[in-house]
């Protein structure tokens, strides 16, 4: 599907071109698939509407007169659309007796032929009008009946039970789909956003200068590293407590690359205590590479990046101890943080360090804002590596993000106007299931 | 008896951590060392039994979930780091993880945080629901709606990177940062309570469970 | 080759995980589950690297008799005690009544709860220091925090009741209005921003433009 | 060094006295409580005056006051009014609207450190469910969650109000235990719950538990309640279970997490929210069962007042034109 050839000079660049080409090919591949799914959707939907009939099935003990409920009506069975198969979707109109309190539950019965033996596949409480039978086997034809039940329990003992069964509905087969039509809007949205980003990346490569506004927290990185050098003290870099399975950690360690290179150039000791082993492995590679780029590969010490503990507060306790004992001049917090954010940042503040923080955890931002000198708010964290590197390709992606924002703003204004004046309910375009 | 010793140990460690507030001291240093050792060991053991045995071993050998072998291979490649010569192989599992997470997060965040938040931002400003007659919402609700819509809008404007914050655009961005500041203040103020309750829990442990002084 | 193969792996795996979102069909519907299992196995293997690193760094400190080296001995001893007990207890190590559970209940829990509880003090000192009306931005931060804080405790409403204020400006009302209106708006803007940032970062990683995490050659 | 040893010895002595000598609980009457409150207020006023005169208090003074404000109310007799907020009412209404016999999934995604806030919620929620005859299915995405659930359930079942109920494990409630895998667990439960929980907390196979035997996935669950202290928690539940599988869900969150949930609440993705100890106390009020939440609320109010007092003191210091010490502090642009 995607042909990959890797150049020696600049593999990233190559990959990118192939990536764009691949995206176009992917579209070519998916478009017919979409069409097929739509057609298949129409073909598969088999609506069977049948009247219901009431009959007595079971009465264990003597039930009072008139306790036999009316049955349900309009039972519709069809393949659960947009799923991975093995699921049938049933909807019905509830029994008129439901609102009178004469129904205790509905029992769902299934058979493989219309007149065959029906067995119970599930039950739902009264008032329910929908059921997913997830025990179906793909390709097998099924028939369904629904029994409206009125029963009395006393002390867990069943006293009597009256059932009214509907007529069977079917046949129906379950199957798996290749495209989730409900997510088509997400598909369009993602394609738009990704193409905008890709377009501006490719435009940036042609060398056109892009304007990027000042981000105070990032402008101060130089100064903060410089200060540590002047004072002859360490720099601490804390990449958060999440593992590599979090994009914030990936963003955090990417920024570490730029900061470590700066520190290496200034000949200042940068220490990276980490909370997760995979992050340790990654951070080691990154710091080592940064020292190579700064032209001082020999200055790199393996102990600069060290593991403490996987535990959130154990990690915070250890970092607090390190801060008060070693008095670093500068502390960076970049990544995903939880409650430990303020424990570390307040200690750092009391120890007089310059602190620069950035996180995508919205709940922790207020604490960093209160205790740190500079804070990168949400999206700024993800823009940081581009901003610090000044690489046109990366800066281009920021411009692409802005296009996404612009589109969102336009949709919000349009949508607000259309919905406020009852013209069109645009918010439905954005619903996701 | 075991429980009584436990309470004393717990109290000793609790007070050791709190002593840090006064200043760094040997009691805290001891507590910190115990904490690091115990917690590192705790996760080391827990991951072994939960993931390696519980997930991998039982999954493959009891249930026959052979797809788990891929994880084991990636995990072993990761351990190649211990051999300096072929340590670079550990980049493979790492790039596998990074790739998968990037793909997964790309869509998860897009659908949940972009689509759904835009959906809920787009709402009728002057009526409770779409197709209700205009101006049926109370004045208070209309004002709230306008603030929410305006706040979200200007807040987003603040995040624009490639346009200088000048003129009307700059004005909107300025309002945006105000909204964000109010958000931070509110969220901070709301949180104070949570933090206090943690301390309440610990103090209850000391004075209630350990010293038994609370009626 | 040391960089190209990882780049390729990232790219292919990334694309597969993007399209799986749209495909309900097997095996794509299973990929998320599989990945979560794979990741937990990888993480469980990787923690050996971390643990060895911790022991190495601590041992190094003891060997070189660095400042506070005695506490490094405590780290190593505690680590070994809990690990040995944990492995000896077998699979039921978490069961109530085991030695591991005792360590968990009376050593680990008090430690982490108390460390967490320190936040009560730090929140107070941070608000004492940071919430000052230095400029307009800081004033907004201060006022919002102040109003919400008063509204979140019953005392605020009790005072308002004494003062016979109208119900609509009771501190709890103002507090929930700020939370519902401004907090919703601000959080929404931040959330959308973060999501766009994540999309862009992920895309750069998948395409191999951002590749710092792979290190050098 | 000597000073340090003396301090340690003093703490040890106090502990021994508290443990062995004072055996009766200390309870201060209303008058004594009032006197103490006035004394604290006077000291705070004194600090304010001193600050205005130009001498500032340090971090440690703030710390001391916070400690006093939290500890003293334990021994005092104070009553305070509680007002129920709409999001708490919404959760209560949603639970009350469920018919007896409905299945409620409760996920315990927290550990002991967050228990002061979330445990009272768990207890009140269980109490309400049992009262309403709702079947409870417990699980946890945090390893220690199911244990907390067990504790809460035991506490409730011991209460006099429920002594008459023969509330049985297996038919009325089950505890499925912990499962690792974060949001992926939720995702997979959307397909089949049994595939994630082969056995329950006590090792019984899923299929031999009468309550859950017929429960395949979220479509068989009538309501769910999530107690969450972070990740994985309510956000993941909303993103996966609510958004993708249409589960109806209410949440109890620590106060720090709660603000993040408001957008979801407004968007209708969440049905009701309990935020922090306050939410717990309000829920206790609306369900009419006063317990820990209400009691701890007094300490909460006290410490809040202290923090607010210090913010006022801090601003007094600022406005009196004292040059800032040290260095510029946290400003974001």
- Residues D156-193: pLDDT tens digits? 888 888 877 788 898 899 999 988 878 888 888 888 88
pLDDT in the model for residue A129: 87
pLDDT in the model for residue C217: 61
Least confident of A147-156, B195-204, D84-93: A147-156
Are D259 and B191 in contact (CB < 8 Å)? Answer: yes
pLDDT in the model for residue A30: 55
**Taking residues A230-234, what's their average pLDDT?**
95
Tell whether A204 and A217 lie within a shared domain. no
Chain D interface, best mutation among B30, B43, B51, B194, by max D CB count within 10 A: B194
In B160-173, which positions are buried (b, 16+ CB within 10 angstroms) versus exposed (e)? bbbbebeeeeeebb
pLDDT digits (tens, 9 = 90+) for B96-151: 999 999 999 999 999 989 999 999 999 999 998 888 898 888 898 999 999 999 99
Helix extents (H) in A96-183: none
pLDDT in the model for residue A161: 85
Q: Is a pLDDT exceeding 90 seen at residue C110?
A: yes
d(CA C11, CA C13): 6
- Contact list, A321 vs chain B (CB under 8 Å): 24, 28-29, 32
Please give the backbone phi and psi of residue A359, each rounded to the nearest 5 degrees, phi first. Answer: -155, 155
pLDDT digits (tens, 9 = 90+) for B41-90: 999 999 999 899 989 999 999 989 999 999 999 999 999 999 888 888 99
Tell whether A55 and A108 lie within a shared domain. yes
Tell whether A250 and A378 lie within a shared domain. yes
State the total domains in chain A. 3
| Neighboring chains of D (3 or more beta-carbon pairs < 8 A) | A, B, C
- Contact list, B194 vs chain D (CB under 8 Å): 117, 254-256, 276-277
Tell whether A39 and A101 lie within a shared domain. no
Higher-scoring residue by pLDDT: C207, A84 = C207
pLDDT digits (tens, 9 = 90+) for B36-53: 999 999 999 999 998 999
d(CA B126, CA A417): 10
d(CA D98, CA D249): 13
**Taking residues C170-196, what's their average pLDDT?**
91
Contact A127, A148 (CB under 8 A): no
Residue A132 in domain:
yes
pLDDT in the model for residue A374: 95
d(CA D279, CA D273): 8
d(CA C58, CA C53): 8
Long-range CB contacts for residues A229-234, cutoff 8 Å, separation at least 24: A229/A266, A229/A267, A229/A268, A231/A329, A233/A326, A233/A327, A233/A328, A233/A329, A234/A268, A234/A269, A234/A270, A234/A271, A234/A326, A234/A328, A234/A329
Q: What is the CA radius of gyration of chain A?
A: 31
Tell whether A290 and A141 lie within a shared domain. no
Tell whether A16 and A92 lie within a shared domain. no
pLDDT in the model for residue A13: 41
pLDDT band with cut points at 50, 70 and 90 for residue A155: low
Q: Closest Cα of chain D to C137: distance in Å?
A: 8
pLDDT in the model for residue B11: 96
Contact C178, C144 (CB under 8 A): yes
Q: Closest Cα of chain D to B69: distance in Å?
A: 17
Residue A425 in domain:
no
| Neighboring chains of B (3 or more beta-carbon pairs < 8 A) | A, C, D
Pairing of β A157-165 and β A119-125: unpaired
The reply to whether omega before C27 is within 30° of 0 (cis) is yes
d(CA D274, CA D277): 8
Which are the contacts of D171, defined by CB distance < 8 A and separation ≥ 6?
Answer: A156, D135, D210, D211
Tell whether A221 and A99 lie within a shared domain. no
- Contact list, D101 vs chain A (CB under 8 Å): 104-105, 125
pLDDT digits (tens, 9 = 90+) for D253-301: 987 778 778 778 878 889 999 988 889 989 999 998 887 788 788 888 8
Which are the contacts of B50, defined by CB distance < 8 A and separation ≥ 6?
Answer: C40, C44, D143, D180
Is D99 in CB contact (< 8 Å) with chain A?
yes
pLDDT in the model for residue A28: 52
pLDDT band with cut points at 50, 70 and 90 for residue B215: low
Tell whether A236 and A317 lie within a shared domain. yes
Residue A411 in domain:
no
Q: Closest Cα of chain A to D117: distance in Å?
A: 15
Tell whether D141 and D233 lie within a shared domain. yes
Is C216 in CB contact (< 8 Å) with chain A?
yes
Q: Closest Cα of chain C to A265: distance in Å?
A: 17
pLDDT in the model for residue A348: 97
Please give the backbone phi and psi of residue A360, each rounded to the nearest 5 degrees, phi first. Answer: -100, 5
Which are the contacts of A46, defined by CB distance < 8 A and separation ≥ 6?
Answer: A77, A78, A171, A172
Tell whether A252 and A166 lie within a shared domain. no
D228 - beta bridge partners?
D109, D253
Residue A406 in domain:
no
Tell whether D286 and D158 lie within a shared domain. yes
Higher-scoring residue by pLDDT: A131, A6 = A131
Tell whether A267 and A374 lie within a shared domain. yes
pLDDT band with cut points at 50, 70 and 90 for residue C102: very high
Tell whether D74 and D165 lie within a shared domain. no
Residue D302 in domain:
yes
Of the partner residues D308, D330, D332, the one whose CB lies closest to the CB of residue C149: D308
Residue D242 in domain:
yes
Pairing of β A354-359 and β A374-377: parallel
Q: Is a pLDDT exceeding 90 seen at residue D1?
A: no
Chain C interface, best mutation among B99, B146, B152, by max C CB count within 10 A: B99
pLDDT band with cut points at 50, 70 and 90 for residue B152: very high
- Contact list, A369 vs chain C (CB under 8 Å): 130, 141
State the total domains in chain D. 2
Q: Is a pLDDT exceeding 60 seen at residue D326?
A: no
Question: Left, alpha or beta for A155 (phi > 0: left; psi -120 to 50: alpha)?
Answer: left
**Taking residues A296-300, what's their average pLDDT?**
94
Mean pLDDT of chain B: 92
Pairing of β A105-111 and β A119-125: antiparallel
Q: Is a pLDDT exceeding 50 seen at residue D331?
A: no
**Is residue D330 classed as helix, strand or coil in its secondary structure?**
coil
Contact A59, A160 (CB under 8 A): yes
pLDDT in the model for residue B131: 87
Residue D330 in domain:
no
What residue in C sits closest to A398 (Cα-Cα)?
A: C200
Angle at C13 between CA C11 and CA C17, to 5 degrees: 115
Tell whether D179 and D43 lie within a shared domain. no
pLDDT band with cut points at 50, 70 and 90 for residue A367: very high
Residue D7 in domain:
no
pLDDT digits (tens, 9 = 90+) for C135-175: 899 999 999 999 998 887 777 878 888 898 888 888 888 98
Q: Is a pLDDT exceeding 80 seen at residue A208?
A: no
Chain B interface, best mutation among A192, A408, A421, A426, by max B CB count within 10 A: A408
Q: How far apart are the first and last CA of chain C?
A: 9
d(CA D63, CA D60): 5
pLDDT digits (tens, 9 = 90+) for C18-74: 999 999 998 998 898 899 899 999 999 999 999 999 999 999 999 999 989 999 999
Tell whether A276 and A378 lie within a shared domain. yes
Considering A118, A146, A172, which residue would you say is the last residue of a domain? A172
Tell whether D169 and D259 lie within a shared domain. yes
Higher-scoring residue by pLDDT: A34, D203 = D203
What residue in D sits closest to A127 (Cα-Cα)?
A: D99
pLDDT in the model for residue A31: 52
**Strand ranges in D218-330 using DSSP code E only, listed in sequence order:** 223-228, 249-253, 273-275
pLDDT digits (tens, 9 = 90+) for A251-280: 999 999 999 999 999 999 999 999 999 999
Contact C201, A247 (CB under 8 A): yes
Residue A349 CA neighbour count, 13 Å, CB half: 28
For residue A38, the enclosing domain spans 1-44+181-208
Are D243 and A433 in contact (CB < 8 Å)? Answer: yes
Q: Closest Cα of chain A to B53: distance in Å?
A: 19
Mean pLDDT of chain A: 85
pLDDT in the model for residue A154: 64
d(CA A217, CA A334): 12
Higher-scoring residue by pLDDT: A18, D7 = D7
Contact A80, A64 (CB under 8 A): no
Are C121 and D332 in contact (CB < 8 Å)? Answer: no
Higher-scoring residue by pLDDT: D103, D231 = D103
Chain C interface, best mutation among A25, A84, A393, by max C CB count within 10 A: A84
Q: Closest Cα of chain B to D126: distance in Å?
A: 21
DSSP state of A341: H
Considering A148, A172, A196, which residue would you say is the last residue of a domain? A172
Are C154 and D80 in contact (CB < 8 Å)? Answer: yes
For residue D246, the enclosing domain spans 86-290
CATH number at D201 reads: 3.40.50
pLDDT band with cut points at 50, 70 and 90 for residue A57: very low
Q: Is a pLDDT exceeding 70 seen at residue D86?
A: yes
């Amino acid at each position: 599907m995607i042909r990959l050839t890797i150049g020696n000079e600049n593999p990233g660049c190559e990959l990118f071109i192939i990536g764009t080409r691949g995206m176009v090919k992917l579209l070519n591949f998916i478009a017919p698939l979409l069409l097929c799914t739509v057609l298949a959707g129409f073909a598969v939907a088999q609506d069977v509407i049948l009247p219901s009939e009431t009959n007595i099935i079971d009465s264990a003990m003597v039930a009072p007169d008139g306790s036999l409920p009316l049955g349900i009506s309009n039972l519709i069975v069809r393949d659960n659309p947009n799923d991975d198969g093995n699921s049938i979707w049933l909807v019905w109109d509830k029994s008129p007796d439901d609102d009178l309190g004469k129904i205790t539950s509905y029992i769902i019965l299934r058979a493989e032929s219309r007149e065959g033996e029906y067995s119970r596949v599930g039950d739902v409480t009264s008032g329910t009008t929908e059921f997913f039978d997830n025990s179906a086997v793909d390709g097998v034809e099924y028939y369904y009946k629904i029994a409206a039940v009125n029963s009395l329990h006393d002390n867990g003992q069943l006293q009597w039970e009256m059932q009214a069964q509907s007529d069977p509905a079917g046949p129906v087969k379950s199957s798996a789909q290749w495209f989730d039509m409900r997510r088509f809007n997400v598909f369009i949205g993602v394609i738009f956003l990704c193409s905008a980003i890709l377009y501006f990346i490719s435009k940036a490569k042609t060398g056109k200068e892009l304007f990027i506004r000042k981000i105070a927290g990032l402008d101060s990185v130089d100064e903060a590293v410089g200060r540590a050098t002047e004072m002859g003290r360490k720099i601490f870099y804390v990449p958060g407590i999440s593992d590599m399975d979090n994009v914030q950690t990936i963003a955090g360690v990417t920024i570490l690359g730029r900061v470590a290179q700066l520190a290496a150039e200034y000949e200042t000791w940068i220490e990276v205590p980490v909370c997760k082993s995979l992050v340790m492995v990654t951070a080691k590679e990154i710091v080592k590479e940064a020292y190579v780029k700064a032209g001082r590969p020999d200055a790199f010490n393996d102990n600069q990046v060290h593991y403490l503990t996987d535990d959130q507060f154990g990690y915070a306790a250890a970092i607090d101890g390190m801060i008060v004992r070693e008095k670093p001049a500068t502390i960076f917090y970049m990544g995903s943080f939880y409650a430990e954010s303020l424990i570390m940042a307040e200690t750092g503040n009391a120890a007089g360090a310059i602190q620069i923080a950035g996180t995508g955890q919205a709940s922790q931002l207020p604490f960093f804002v209160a205790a740190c000198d500079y804070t990168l708010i949400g999206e700024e964290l993800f823009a940081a590596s581009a901003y610090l590197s000044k690489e046109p390709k990366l800066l281009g992606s920021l411009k692409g993000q802005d296009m996404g924002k612009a589109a969102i703003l336009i949709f919000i204004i349009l949508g607000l106007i259309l919905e406020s004046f009852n013209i069109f309910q645009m918010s439905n375009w954005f619903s996701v299931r | 008896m075991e429980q009584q010793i436990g309470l004393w140990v717990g109290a000793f460690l609790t007070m050791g951590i709190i002593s840090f507030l006064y200043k760094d001291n040997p009691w805290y240093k001891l507590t910190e060392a115990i904490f690091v050792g115990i917690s590192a060991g705790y996760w080391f053991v827990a991951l072994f039994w939960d993931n390696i045995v519980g997930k991998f071993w039982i999954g493959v050998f009891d249930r026959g979930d052979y797809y788990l072998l891929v994880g084991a291979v990636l995990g072993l490649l990761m351990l190649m780091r211990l051999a300096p010569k072929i340590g670079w192989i550990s980049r493979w599992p790492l790039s596998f993880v990074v790739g998968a997470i990037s793909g997964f997060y790309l869509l998860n965040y897009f659908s949940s945080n972009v689509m759904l938040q835009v959906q809920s931002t787009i709402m009728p400003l002057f009526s409770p629901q779409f197709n209700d007659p205009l101006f049926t919402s109370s004045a208070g609700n209309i004002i709230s709606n306008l603030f929410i819509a305006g706040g979200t809008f200007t807040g987003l404007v603040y995040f624009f990177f490639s346009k200088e914050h000048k003129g009307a655009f700059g004005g909107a961005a300025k309002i945006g940062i105000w909204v964000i500041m109010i958000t931070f203040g509110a969220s901070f103020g709301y949180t104070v309570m949570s933090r206090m309750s943690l301390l309440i829990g610990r103090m209850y442990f000391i004075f209630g469970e350990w010293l038994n002084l609370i009626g | 080759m040391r960089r190209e193969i990882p780049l390729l792996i990232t790219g292919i795996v990334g694309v597969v995980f993007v399209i799986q979102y749209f495909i309900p069909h097997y095996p794509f519907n299973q990929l998320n589950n599989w990945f979560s299992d794979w990741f937990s196995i990888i993480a469980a293997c990787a923690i050996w690297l971390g643990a060895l690193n911790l022991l190495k760094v601590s041992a190094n400190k003891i060997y070189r008799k660095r400042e506070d080296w005695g506490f490094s001995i405590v780290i190593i001893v505690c680590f070994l005690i809990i690990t040995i007990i944990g492995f000896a207890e077998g699979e039921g190590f978490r069961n109530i009544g085991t030695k591991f559970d005792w360590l968990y209940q009376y050593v680990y829990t008090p430690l982490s709860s108390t460390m967490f509880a320190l936040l009560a003090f730090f929140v107070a000192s941070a608000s004492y220091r940071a919430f000052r009306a230095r400029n307009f931005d800081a004033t907004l931060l201060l006022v919002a925090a102040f109003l919400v804080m008063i509204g979140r405790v019953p005392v605020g409403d009790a005072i308002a009741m004494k003062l016979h204020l109208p119900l609509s400006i009771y501190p709890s009302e103002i507090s929930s209005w700020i939370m519902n209106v401004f907090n919703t708006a601000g959080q929404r803007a931040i959330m959308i921003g973060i999501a766009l940032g994540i999309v862009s970062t992920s895309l750069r990683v998948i395409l191999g433009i951002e590749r710092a995490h792979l290190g050098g050659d | 060094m000597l000073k340090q040893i003396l301090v340690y010895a003093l703490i040890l002595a106090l502990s021994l006295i508290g443990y062995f000598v004072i055996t009766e609980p200390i309870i201060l009457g209303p008058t004594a409580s009032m006197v103490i409150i006035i004394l604290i207020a006077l000291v705070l006023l004194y600090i304010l005056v001193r600050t205005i005169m130009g001498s500032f208090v340090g971090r440690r003074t703030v710390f001391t006051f916070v400690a006093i404000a939290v500890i003293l109310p334990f021994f005092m007799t104070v009553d305070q009014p509680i007002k129920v907020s709409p999001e708490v009412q919404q959760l209560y209404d949603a639970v009350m609207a469920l018919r007896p016999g409905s299945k409620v999934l409760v996920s315990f995604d927290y550990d002991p450190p967050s228990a002061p806030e979330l445990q009272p919620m768990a207890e009140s929620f269980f109490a309400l469910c049992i009262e309403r005859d709702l079947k409870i299915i417990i699980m946890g995405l945090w390893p220690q969650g199911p244990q907390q659930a067990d504790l809460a359930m035991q506490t409730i079942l011991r209460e006099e109000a429920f002594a008459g109920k023969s509330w049985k494990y297996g038919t009325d409630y089950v505890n499925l235990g912990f499962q690792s895998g974060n949001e992926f667990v939720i995702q997979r439960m959307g397909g089949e719950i049994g595939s994630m929980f082969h056995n329950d907390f006590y090792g019984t196979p899923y299929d031999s538990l009468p309550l859950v035997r017929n429960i395949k996935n979220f479509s068989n669950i009538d309501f769910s309640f999530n107690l969450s202290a972070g990740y994985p928690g309510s956000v993941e539940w909303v993103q996966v279970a609510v958004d993708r599988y249409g589960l109806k869900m209410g949440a109890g969150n620590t106060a720090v997490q709660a603000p993040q949930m408001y957008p979801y609440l407004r968007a209708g993705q969440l049905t009701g929210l309990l935020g922090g100890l306050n939410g717990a106390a309000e829920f206790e009020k609306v369900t009419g069962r006063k317990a820990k939440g209400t009691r701890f609320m007094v300490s909460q109010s006290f410490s809040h007042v202290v923090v607010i007092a210090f913010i006022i003191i801090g601003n007094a210091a600022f406005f009196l034109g004292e040059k800032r010490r040290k260095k510029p502090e946290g400003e974001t642009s």
